[in-house]
Amino acid sequence: MTSEDKTAIQNIAVMTSGGDSPGMNAAIRAVVRTALYFGKKAFGIYHGYEGMIDGEISPMQSHDVSDIINRGGTILKTARSKRFLEAAYRKQAYEQLKAHHIDALVIIGGNGSFRGADVFSHEFDIPVVGIPGTIDNDLDGTDYTLGYDTALNNVIDAVDKIRDTASAFDRLFFVEVMGRDAGFIALRSGIATGADAILVPEVHTNYEQLKEYLHTTYRHTKSSAIVLVAEGDDGGGAVAMAKRIREDFPDFNPRVTILGHIQRGGAPTAFDRILGSEMGVAAVKALLQGQSGVMMGKQCREIVPVAFSIADKHTKRLSQALLSMIDVLNG
């Protein structure tokens, strides 16, 4: 009996829920192998809460998670479940878990997944620990979410390529990135790519200021320009902003590129592989120490438990220091 093993937990299941993010497979691998290391049985739940309801549950051995740490997406698949919002289906999910003798859960997902997990863990005698997997990095209680670093690097790679064409044609590009409610991807990737303007949901878009910048700076001192736009920007996104600029400056002939789901794909970076591994190991240890209703967060280089009630996507704030840099760097 190890010092970590302080509960009667014997069977630990892991699942991925909501949007996929690079690094999820690293976390799955870590959960399975950590459970086995401590003499427990590991299970995988396929297709998130939908699979839990329908009993898509299979035992997992060490070899089942071999050669997945470098893969994007999730080998367990994922889904968003409206059925899980209903008590009757949550009860059905619980009965499926009990039929497989599962007595603890690790859920890899975002804000919506954790809300469901919090309700579920209070309704039934199943301890639940979460791992924050979302490219948006919009969950409070953690400096970084799983997949954020890879998404940033995907955006940087794409924008660097777009800039080559922008420079060749002396052209203005509006590039739209993911971020319906949060501008973390847009802000950091915009700074990293030297974007001329960065539009995020958290800051009201001053169209007149953007227009003045393009008129005085882009027109007279630059051969090309990149405006990075989060999809949730209150100006209406890249297409709407480019249309307004085209109407006011017909000679600019701006182009629009919407990066879309390319941001979520591809092999995870070293950072996300290590983060997923750290969080997966910590999640199993937390369960074996009797914890539940918490997410594994990364704070000041340490993995710490954070209550689901704190891990909310609507409370995390953009760095004011980074926001203030935009005007300085684009002078």
Instruction: Assess whether pLDDT exceeds 50 at residue 171.
Output: yes
Q: What pLDDT does residue 154 have?
A: 97
Q: What pLDDT does residue 1 have?
A: 38
Instruction: Please tell me whether residues 273 and 209 are part of one structural domain.
Output: no
Closest CA to 133 of 123, 142, 125, 121: 142
- Say which residues have a Cβ less than 8 Å from residue 157's Cβ, sequence separation at least 6: none
Range 168-196 average pLDDT: 91
Look at residue 276 and tell me if it is in a domain: yes
- On average, the pLDDT of the chain sits at 91
Tell me which range, 24-28, 177-181, 228-232, is most confidently predicted by mean pLDDT: 24-28
Instruction: Please tell me whether residues 135 and 19 are part of one structural domain.
Output: yes
Instruction: Assess whether pLDDT exceeds 50 at residue 257.
Output: yes
Look at residue 326 and tell me if it is in a domain: no
Instruction: Assess whether pLDDT exceeds 90 at residue 28.
Output: yes
Share of the chain above pLDDT 70, in %: 95
pLDDT band at 209 (very low <50, low <70, confident <90, very high): confident
Instruction: Please tell me whether residues 142 and 153 are part of one structural domain.
Output: no
Give the chain's radius of gyration (CA, Å). 22
Instruction: Please tell me whether residues 65 and 36 are part of one structural domain.
Output: yes
Q: Mind listing the pLDDT tens digit for each residue in 308-321?
A: 988 876 678 888 88
Which amino acid type is present at position 322? L
Q: What pLDDT does residue 219 have?
A: 65
Look at residue 38 and tell me if it is in a domain: yes
Share of the chain above pLDDT 90, in %: 73
Look at residue 315 and tell me if it is in a domain: no
Which one is predicted more confidently, 171 or 247? 247
Look at residue 328 and tell me if it is in a domain: no
pLDDT band at 3 (very low <50, low <70, confident <90, very high): very low
Q: What pLDDT does residue 224 have?
A: 72
Range of the domain at 28: 11-147+268-307
Look at residue 317 and tell me if it is in a domain: no
Our answer to whether residue 5 is catalytic in this structure is no
Closest CA to 69 of 32, 106, 107: 32
Instruction: Assess whether pLDDT exceeds 80 at residue 168.
Output: no
Catalytic residue among 136, 138, 149, 272: 136
Range 95-115 average pLDDT: 95
Range 18-23 average pLDDT: 93
Look at residue 312 and tell me if it is in a domain: no
Instruction: Please tell me whether residues 163 and 123 are part of one structural domain.
Output: no
Closest CA to 82 of 119, 105, 53, 55: 53
Instruction: Please tell me whether residues 62 and 121 are part of one structural domain.
Output: yes
Q: Which stretch of DSSP H or E encloses residue 33?
A: helix 24-37
Instruction: Please tell me whether residues 153 and 143 are part of one structural domain.
Output: no
Instruction: Please tell me whether residues 223 and 281 are part of one structural domain.
Output: no
Instruction: Please tell me whether residues 127 and 156 are part of one structural domain.
Output: no
Q: Mind listing the pLDDT tens digit for each residue in 271-297?
A: 999 999 999 999 999 999 999 999 999
Q: Which two tokens mark 74?
A: 């999730």
Instruction: Please tell me whether residues 17 and 137 are part of one structural domain.
Output: yes
Count Cα atoms within 13 angstroms, Cβ side, for 45: 27
Whole-angstrom CA distances from 208 to 163, 222, 295 are 24, 19, 42
**Beta strand pairing call for 104-109 and 57-60:** unpaired
- The number of distinct structural domains making up the chain is 2
CATH number of domain containing 302: 3.40.50.450
CATH number of domain containing 256: 3.40.50.460
Look at residue 58 and tell me if it is in a domain: yes
Q: What pLDDT does residue 221 have?
A: 59
Q: Which position has the token pair 């914890």?
A: 291
Instruction: Please tell me whether residues 79 and 155 are part of one structural domain.
Output: no
Q: Mind listing the pLDDT tens digit for each residue in 76-93?
A: 999 989 999 999 999 999
Instruction: Please tell me whether residues 136 and 193 are part of one structural domain.
Output: no
